[in-house]
Amino acid sequence: MERPELNEHNKQEYPPMHTAEHLLNGEMARRYGCGRAFSTHVERKKSKLDYHMPAALTDDELRSLEEYVNAAIAADVAVTEEFITRAEAMEHFDMSRLPDGASDTVRVVHIGPYDQCLCAGTHVSHTAEIGRFRISSSRYQDGVQRLVFKLD
C-alpha cells in the first residue's frame, strides 16, 4: 500500500497535525463512547473534528482531553504501521469509512498504547515530533460537539 502524498482535499498533509488528530479521536471514542469523529478537517494551522454527543463537553472535560493528548505527545512513543487483511480488520475496526475499491490489505497505524486505527495518511515517527496540542475552541449544537485544535 503506497502512502498518498495528498489527501482527499488535494492539500499537502501535515504529519504532526494528522497524528494529533488520531490521539484526540481515539480518546474521544474511549472516553465518551461516541466513536471517532464523523466529520474531520485536518490542516496545518488548525483542525476540527465533529462528534455526535448527547451533551456539550465541559471546560474541565476539554482541559482533561488537552492534558491527555499532551501527555501522549510527551511520552515520545513510536508511531508504527502494520498491514493486515480486510477480514482481520473487520474484527477490530469500523470499516464503514473504507473507500470503495480498497485493496484486500489495509494499513493500521499504531501510536504506542494510545491509539490504533485504519489510515492511509502520513504521520510523525514519534509523538514528541508533534509539538504542543491545544483545543482552541469548541461548540455544541444540535447534538454535535465540534472541537477545533492547533499545534503550538
Give the chain's domains with CATH numbers: 15-151 (3.30.980.10)
Provide the pLDDT confidence category of residue 2 given band limits of 50, 70 and 90. very low
pTM comes to 0.88
CB count in 10 Å sphere of residue 133: 25
Report whether pLDDT(89) > 90.
no
Instruction: Give ∠ CA 36-38-39 in degrees, rounded to 5.
Output: 120
Name residue, grid cell 470499516. 95
Q: Tell me the percentage of the chain whose pLDDT exceeds 70.
A: 92
Query: Which pLDDT belongs to residue 92?
Result: 84
Query: Which pLDDT belongs to residue 7?
Result: 39
Buried b (16+ CB within 10 A) or exposed e, 35-50: ebbeeeebeeeebbbe
Axis-axis angle for helices 59-74, 15-32 (nearest 10): 130
Report whether pLDDT(61) > 80.
yes
